[in-house]
Amino acid sequence: MTKTRKNYVLRVSCPSIRGVTADITSFLSSRGCNIRDSAQFDDESTNHYFMRITFRPEEGQSLEDLKKEFQHLVEKYKMEYEFFDERAKRKVILMVSRFGHCLNDLLYRWSIGALPIDIVGVISNHLDFQKVVEGHCIPYHHIKVTKENKAEAEAAQMRIVRETGAELIVLARYMQILSDEMCQQMSGRIINIHHSFLPSFKGGSPYKQAFDRGVKLIGATSHFVTADLDEGPIIEQDIVRITHAQSPNDYVSLGRDVESQVLARAIHAYVHGRVFMNEKKTIVFPASPDSYASESIG
């Protein structure tokens, strides 16, 4: 049986300064690490540098040792950085209301190991998917939300996040607006999905509105959640082409498919450390080799 080899990831962002790429790669090489994949981007518009490297420690280096020895470069370049094991599974809370297509898609991908996440709970303001979730042996938390109890409901949601140690909240078609306070507490750690008709078709029945206007492209957008509703930094988008022959119900069905795919890709990019915040936008690096492989093949 082939022994699984460790793969580590280093994420770096810092002010744009000459020499940072050379210093980082030299640091890893000098400590017996073999670089497998590297991506970097120097954004002249924000004067900021971003880098993601996957590497293998070939002389027994631990992440803790590498972190300690890396500090001199952190101070030199004023870096924000993270080392992590690529195999480590991020703890995730899913939130859903009454549309289950994204939830069911994520549960399937999670069950076959296609997403390296540990779903530590599902929170909903309805009971529709309780049996489905508990059938996967995942805790289901029903927290009703009204105008009168919104603050108490969010406090209960945040208690679950803290108690489970969740690193990421995914709004898998959770149809409630989060408060500014919750958005700030979880800044950069809440991902949402919605159709890409905004701002043209707001409010109820956006697909019916799009049908009435003869729209030929249906899309979806996944983004970080901020206090500005549906205007957070975009992580992933996609479209599907349609024709005049499709009905409003076709629009909805096709829209659900693209929403599910886009949300899964956004989560995949996040948990692999490929997403960097860059003011009001994001840097999203390509996936590393083998990162899409499922634990269960077939």
Q: Is 65 in the active site?
A: no
Task: Identify the CA nearest to 69 among candidates 24, 99, 122, 114.
Answer: 24
* Six-digit token string for 233: 């930094």
Catalytic residue, candidates 43, 118, 230, 238: 230
Alpha-carbon 162 to chain mean position? 19
Q: How far apart are the first and last CA of the chain?
A: 19
The total of other beta-carbon atoms located within 10 Å of residue 71's CB is: 11
How many angstroms separate the CA atoms of 285 and 144, rounded?
38
What torsion do the CA atoms of 239, 243, 248, 254 make, to the nearest 10 degrees?
Answer: -30
Task: Identify the CA nearest to 54 among candidates 80, 34, 32, 75.
Answer: 34
Give the chain's count of helices (H) and strands (E). Answer: 8, 13
* Six-digit token string for 102: 């994204």
Region label for 188, one of left (φ > 0), alpha (ψ between -120 and 50) or beta (otherwise)? left
How many angstroms separate the CA atoms of 294 and 298, rounded?
9
- Which residues are designated catalytic? 230
